[in-house]
Amino acid sequence: MEQVLKGKVAIITGASQGLGLEIAKQYLAAGASVAICARNKGLLEIAEGQLRSLVGAGQRVVARGADVSKIDDVEKLVGFARSEFGHIDILVNNAGVYGPKGVIEDVDWQEWARTIDINLYGSILMCRAVLPTFKARRGGKIIQLSGGGATNPLPRLSAYAVSKAAIVRFVETLAEEVREDGIDVNAIAPGALNTRLLDEVLAAGPGKVGGSFYERALRQKQSGGTPLEKGAALAVFLGSSRSNGITGKLISAAWDPWVSLPEHLDDLASSDIYTLRRIVPKDRGKKWGNDQ
């Protein structure tokens, strides 16, 4: 892989397995050093060992157990990365959970709220922690993992859907707050991945997640889903200087022509392309409901 991240330092959350681990691997291949975290320290140690076997000259991998929903853990993680590397250039917010499965009146409320804590508040806490460093350096990249929950209703997975929609709007808002600081903030929809989250859906069964969603999950399991490499490759692009000026967007790794987006910076900057917006009747060719 071309060394588009050579000399850069990235914090990658939820990097002990699945997409987070794949992103860490591709960041190393692109020349970056990485600080990874996860709640499961056993899996984190295994991942750290795998990643250290991939480091090249001038690169390092460090790991620290952390729960991103806890402000003390977040501050210690960012402080640890700064002390190890001296600077931070990129934050990849990958840590996330599906949360409880079932209709809203039946799911465990503490589990529902815990999903918001991890997926939404945890991502925001990480952003808050790195922003002073980024602003002092007059630049930085924040990459937020989102997904289908941000753009489609997900009955029986309401905590996941709500948290993902909310974090995309936070990405859009934060991008405007830090635009003049040279910081780009974007979200990634990585596609339908065959990870532990899919296994959770299949284990829960149609009674919890609904028949149609369960059948779709079965088909995804059989087909192999979207390769992890696609989302990781987009994360590399958004962490590199090639994406400079692209900010406040939700980009699909599987469907959007993200490699060519630098050719369309003016269109992206002056429009609501790749953002969450309300649809009105005229957007669908209807004449009713429009201003007279």
What confidence score (pLDDT) does residue 97 get?
A: 93
Nearest to 188, CA basis, from 137, 243, 133: 243
38 - beta bridge partners? 65
Nearest to 198, CA basis, from 3, 12, 14, 18: 18
**How far apart are the C-alpha atoms of 111 and 129, rounded to whole Å?**
25
Domains of the chain: 9-191+226-257+265-275 (3.40.50.720)
**How far apart are the C-alpha atoms of 212 and 221, rounded to whole Å?**
14
**How far apart are the C-alpha atoms of 104 and 124, rounded to whole Å?**
25
Cα distances (Å, whole numbers) of residue 235 to 19, 30, 200, 258, 259: 10, 11, 25, 11, 11
DSSP H stretches of helix in the chain:
18-29, 41-52, 71-85, 109-116, 122-137, 158-177, 196-204, 206-209, 211-223, 228-239, 265-269
pLDDT, greater one: 37 or 284: 37
Kindly indicate the confidence band of residue 26, based on its pLDDT and cuts at 50, 70 and 90: very high
Kindly indicate the confidence band of residue 134, based on its pLDDT and cuts at 50, 70 and 90: very high
Kindly indicate the confidence band of residue 291, based on its pLDDT and cuts at 50, 70 and 90: low
**Rounded average pLDDT over 67-86:** 98
- Measured in whole angstroms, how far is the alpha carbon of residue 260 from the centre of its chain? 21
Q: Is the pLDDT of residue 292 over 80?
A: no
Task: Name residues whose C-beta falls within 8 Å of residue 98's C-beta, 6 or more positions apart in sequence.
Answer: 115, 157, 160, 197, 200, 201
Cα distances (Å, whole numbers) of residue 50 to 16, 19, 60, 63: 10, 14, 12, 12
**Rounded average pLDDT over 132-154:** 92
Instruction: Quote the crossing angle between the two packed helices 18-29 and 228-239, to the nearest 10°.
Output: 50
Active site residues: 160
Asked if 129 and 66 touch (Cβ cutoff 8 Å), the reply is no
**How far apart are the C-alpha atoms of 234 and 188, rounded to whole Å?**
8
Tokens of 57: 């000259």
**Rounded average pLDDT over 138-150:** 91
**How far apart are the C-alpha atoms of 269 and 245, rounded to whole Å?**
8
**How far apart are the C-alpha atoms of 238 and 89, rounded to whole Å?**
12
Nearest to 208, CA basis, from 109, 106, 97, 102: 102
Residue type, 253: A
Q: Share the mean pLDDT of the chain.
A: 93
- What does pTM read for this prediction? 0.93
